[in-house]
Amino acid sequence: MKQKEFLKTYFSFIILIFSIFISLFCYKKYSLWKTDNKNTKNIINELKEVPKQEIKTNLPVNFLNIDFTDLIKTNKDTVAWIKINNTLVDYPVVQYKDNDYYMKRDFYKNNNEAGTIFSDYRNNFLNLNKNTILYGHSRLDNTMFGSLRFMLNEEFFSEPQNNYIIVSTPYYNSIWQIFSVYKIPKENYFLTALFKDGEYDVFLNTILNRSYYNFNTSVSPTDYTLTLSTCGDSDGLTRIIVHAKLIKKESTKAF
């Protein structure tokens, strides 16, 4: 009887300790998320001050001309700026020698779980690859690439301007037209940046057929594509993917 009472008390103690440990762990994670979230919003507000101007086009969206001078002084890894209308995507893009560095670092290179928007290390913004790939975390407050989840709702594309992605670089301004959006289990196929003969044509057909919606936009091997990738769930087991093709490009204007 005493042994049973001892075991009961022992297991109750273990459960209590385990519960305290889990509570402390969750509190620490929440505190970290809250701090990172606050810092991220501060950075976003600071970046709103970057000099920029719209340049009219004959499309539903305009070019976005960015003054990269101070951005590059602050972070020499800056390679572009991306904007998507009616989302929170309006950020600088950085690039490092690998695809890990900016996963948990902000634009100022400080530790931050929110990371920043970054380019695949294989991309070349001066001489474009056939497929340019950008990554960003899917934050619950819709910062970084969190608002890409809006695109899983077909009604989002009822606004003509929402069908385009605007990208500015120190060399040129560009507009890309979305032709494929989907959610898929984590994989690497859509992250292909370099292609051998014939592979790009197969790649385009594959990602076009994956799309949830028919955008009535054709793609061909002569097109350049832009791929946006973010997590589709909190466990990181799925990805939300957006593909667009380059339709307009002009040299960057001087400020």
What confidence tier does 29 reach under pLDDT thresholds 50, 70, 90?
A: low
CA 88 to chain centre: 11
Strands 90-95 and 118-119: parallel
152, pLDDT greater than 90: yes
Quick: pLDDT tens for 209-244: 999 999 999 999 999 999 999 998 877 899 999 999
CB-count burial class (<10 Å; 0-12, 13-18, 19+) for 149: middle
DSSP secondary structure string for all residues of 186-245: S-SGGG-----TTHHHHHHHHHHHH-SS-------TT--EEEEEEESSTTS-EEEEEEEE
User: What is the per-residue pLDDT for 39?
Assistant: 78
26 noted as active-site residue? no
- Examine the pLDDT at 191 and tell me if it is beyond 80: yes
Tell me the domains of the chain and their CATH numbers. 50-251 (2.40.260.10)
Q: What is the pLDDT of residue 4?
A: 58
Residue bearing the bigger pLDDT, 22 or 109: 109
pLDDT at 8 > cutoff 60: no
Mean pLDDT of 12-31: 56
Model-level pTM?
A: 0.86
* Active-site option among 66, 82, 228, 231: 231
Question: How do residues 111-143 score in pLDDT, each as one tens digit?
Answer: 998 899 999 999 999 999 999 999 999 988 899
Q: Kindly indicate the confidence band of residue 27, based on its pLDDT and cuts at 50, 70 and 90.
A: very low
